[in-house]
């Protein structure tokens, strides 16, 4: 079993690139996670995890990350990604992520509603919600990326 992360950070980035993978890599760099090895995880914030403004871990580190991302090759299209973290008073939290062909505001509304639903399903009181989003108008090949990085 891996150790339980003690810290979390919300990040978001957008970018263009000559290919979809380059656009994704550039969005990761813009979000501050481009030199890490992301391990995609589902959506539970560990109990007691503390919010930190910026990720500060060595390049190449395996980093548990819940994220939403979208690549588009449609010039002029608006794309967005958002993440939300819902926190309880004294237990674990819930992370929700979304990406779509919409505005950043619409993406934020969707992830906040998902967090509220997740807490209602668990019959847990929601103490606080943190949200981060990004919106991008595609020039050629664009990508949006929003994530919650969990680290030690």
* Residues belonging to the active site: 37, 42-43, 97
Strands 142-151 and 62-72: antiparallel
C-alpha radius of gyration, the chain, whole number: 15
What the block records as the tokens of 121 is 């399903």
Q: Token match 């992370």: residue?
A: 95
Phi and psi of 107, rounded to 5°?
Answer: -65, -40
Q: Per 3-state DSSP, what percentage of the chain is helix, strand, and coil (rounded to 5)?
A: 20, 45, 35
């Amino acid at each position: 079993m891996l150790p339980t992360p003690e810290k979390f950070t919300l990040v978001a980035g957008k970018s263009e690139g000559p290919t979809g993978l380059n656009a994704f890599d550039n969005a990761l760099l813009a979000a501050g996670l481009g030199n890490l090895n992301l391990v995609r995880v589902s959506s539970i914030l560990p109990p007691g995890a503390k919010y930190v403004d910026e990720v500060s871990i060595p390049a190449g580190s395996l980093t548990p990350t819940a994220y939403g991302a979208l690549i588009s090759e449609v010039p002029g299209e608006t794309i967005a990604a958002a993440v939300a973290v819902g926190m309880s008073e004294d237990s674990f939290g819930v992370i929700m992520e979304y990406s779509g062909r919409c505005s950043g505001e619409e993406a934020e509304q969707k992830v906040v509603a998902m967090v509220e639903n997740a807490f209602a399903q668990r019959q847990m009181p929601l103490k606080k919600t943190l949200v981060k989003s990004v919106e991008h108008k595609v020039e050629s090949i664009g990508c949006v990326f929003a994530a919650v990085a969990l680290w030690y």
